[in-house]
Amino acid sequence: MRPSIPRERLRLARVTVGPIEAAIMATGTVVPEVERVLSSPLDARVLRILEHPGAQLDVGTPVVELDTSESVLALDKIVKDLKIKENLQAQSRLTLEKSLVDLAGRIEMKTLDLQAAQSRLQSNQQLFTDNLLSREALRQSELAVKQTEIELGQLRGERANAERTNAVQLEGLSLERGGLDKEAAQARRLLDLSTTKSDRKGVLTWVLSQEGALVHRGDVIARIADLSSFRVDGSVSDVHVGRLHPGMPAVVRFNEETLDGTISEVYPTVENGVIRFTVALARPSHPSLRPNLRADVLVITDRKPRTLRVKQVRSPTPPHARSSWFEGTRRSACRSRSVSPVLTTWRCCRACASPTRSSFPTCAITRI
């Protein structure tokens, strides 16, 4: 019986027992895990760029100096308005004190009038008892006392009303002054931020490159990264959108290094047929990690802890070889008829029940 396959096309490999994993191949970029964005606190013009990308920054290190002339004028206006409010508050307080002093004097005089009227009433009552005064004169004395009491009560009520009115006016002026105080504090804070400073230790990864450029409030003017820890931003075709979810294990390969990780976030939007996700590394402070480093990401979709497997050996493959299959018996090594040029490390190898030819597709990818 003559073999139908040339010997040079036969390849031998040892079958082993071990774990095998199915994975989705994706691309990724290493980025700092924490990156701080410095924004412009106001509409201004860039005067000077004090630091350049790659510079090591400490807390409080100035990065960019902005033009603050307009903010200085705004602060001067707020300070002027604040002084006007203080003057109005002082005037209202003096007016209140003057009115209260006048009312206090009138109340005191009316109190003396009441005491005098009461004294006359007592004298008239004694005279009326001795039949020396008419009833009409006594009635006039009683009415004079009641009238004085009413007028005294009105003055006291007027004083209380004046106190409440002036208290409300002073409270309103205090609120307006408090608002101006906050505006002045905000303006001073913006002036302090005009020389944009780093709020943490890190490395300056990007900064505006043109001095004299006009920036608006909220525009990004610098980025500061903490290069002590990293993550991986991955992307893959949207055909796998239904298979990705947070918590899936992943393997990141770069520069002959392999790191384990977990998908921490899958972005819900699809852009240009690509879905993006984030991988949290088990060793985010690995010494080989660098910003913008390209990496291969293997998202593990399935895992079998114990199965028969054969290690793929790379070798020149004819262009027409597009499929792979294995044949053999339980005690024989697998013979691969052809090996497809895909990025795999292990292939499934099922023991055949008979020595006849059997075809098996590529099962999975696993770590080296």
Confidence of residue 144 (pLDDT cuts 50, 70, 90): confident
Q: Say if residue 187 is in the same domain as residue 237.
A: no
Strands 220-237 and 195-197: unpaired
Instruction: Look over the chain and give the mean of its residue pLDDT values, rounded to a whole number.
Output: 77
Q: Say if residue 182 is in the same domain as residue 235.
A: no
| Dist CA 270 CA 238 (whole Å) | 7
On whether residue 304 sits in a domain, the answer given is: yes
Structure tokens at 135: 């009833």
CATH code assigned at 103: 1.10.287.1490
Q: Say if residue 152 is in the same domain as residue 250.
A: no
On whether residue 12 sits in a domain, the answer given is: yes
On whether residue 48 sits in a domain, the answer given is: no
**Lowest model confidence (mean pLDDT) among 64-73, 153-162, 287-296:** 64-73
Range of the domain at 284: 7-34+227-348
| pLDDT at residue 134 in the model | 80
Q: Which of 39, 60, 61 is nearest to 51 (CA)?
A: 61
| pLDDT at residue 76 in the model | 82
Q: Which of 133, 113, 114 is nearest to 123 (CA)?
A: 133
Confidence of residue 224 (pLDDT cuts 50, 70, 90): confident
Give per-residue pLDDT as tens, 301-340. 888 888 888 876 555 444 433 333 333 333 333 333 333 3
Give per-residue pLDDT as tens, 27-39. 999 988 888 888 8
On whether residue 1 sits in a domain, the answer given is: no
Q: Say if residue 108 is in the same domain as residue 12.
A: no
On whether residue 157 sits in a domain, the answer given is: yes
Confidence of residue 295 (pLDDT cuts 50, 70, 90): very high
Count of CB atoms within 10 A of residue 31's CB? 18
Contact, 339 vs 313, CB < 8 A? yes
Confidence of residue 364 (pLDDT cuts 50, 70, 90): very low
Q: Say if residue 16 is in the same domain as residue 120.
A: no
Structure tokens at 189: 């804070």
Length of the chain: 368
Q: Say if residue 188 is in the same domain as residue 280.
A: no
| pLDDT at residue 337 in the model | 33
Burial class (CB in 10 A: 0-12, 13-18, 19+), 55: middle
Strands 294-311 and 249-254: antiparallel
pTM above 0.75, yes or no: no
Strands 214-215 and 346-348: unpaired
Q: Say if residue 15 is in the same domain as residue 74.
A: no
Give per-residue pLDDT as tens, 72-130. 777 788 888 888 878 887 887 788 778 878 888 888 888 888 888 888 888 888 887 87
Confidence of residue 216 (pLDDT cuts 50, 70, 90): confident
Confidence of residue 342 (pLDDT cuts 50, 70, 90): very low
Q: Say if residue 236 is in the same domain as residue 342.
A: yes
On whether residue 221 sits in a domain, the answer given is: no
Range 128-155 average pLDDT: 83
| pLDDT at residue 112 in the model | 85
Q: Say if residue 76 is in the same domain as residue 26.
A: no
| Dist CA 336 CA 342 (whole Å) | 15
pLDDT at 263 over 90: yes
On whether residue 367 sits in a domain, the answer given is: no
Q: Which residue has the tokens 């028969």?
A: 308
Q: Give Rg (Cα) of the chain.
A: 45
Contact, 196 vs 38, CB < 8 A? yes
CATH code assigned at 317: 2.40.30.170
Burial class (CB in 10 A: 0-12, 13-18, 19+), 225: buried
Contact, 211 vs 51, CB < 8 A? no
| pLDDT at residue 193 in the model | 64
In degrees and rounded to multiples of 5, residue 53 shows phi and psi of -55, 140
| pLDDT at residue 348 in the model | 54
Q: Is 38 helix (H, G, I), strand (E, B) or coil?
A: strand
Total domains, the chain: 2
Out of 144, 177, 193, a domain closes at 193
Of residues 350 and 337, more confidence is placed in: 350
DSSP state of 282: S
On whether residue 358 sits in a domain, the answer given is: no
| Dist CA 100 CA 159 (whole Å) | 6
| pLDDT at residue 297 in the model | 93
Out of 168, 193, 218, a domain closes at 193
Q: Say if residue 169 is in the same domain as residue 259.
A: no
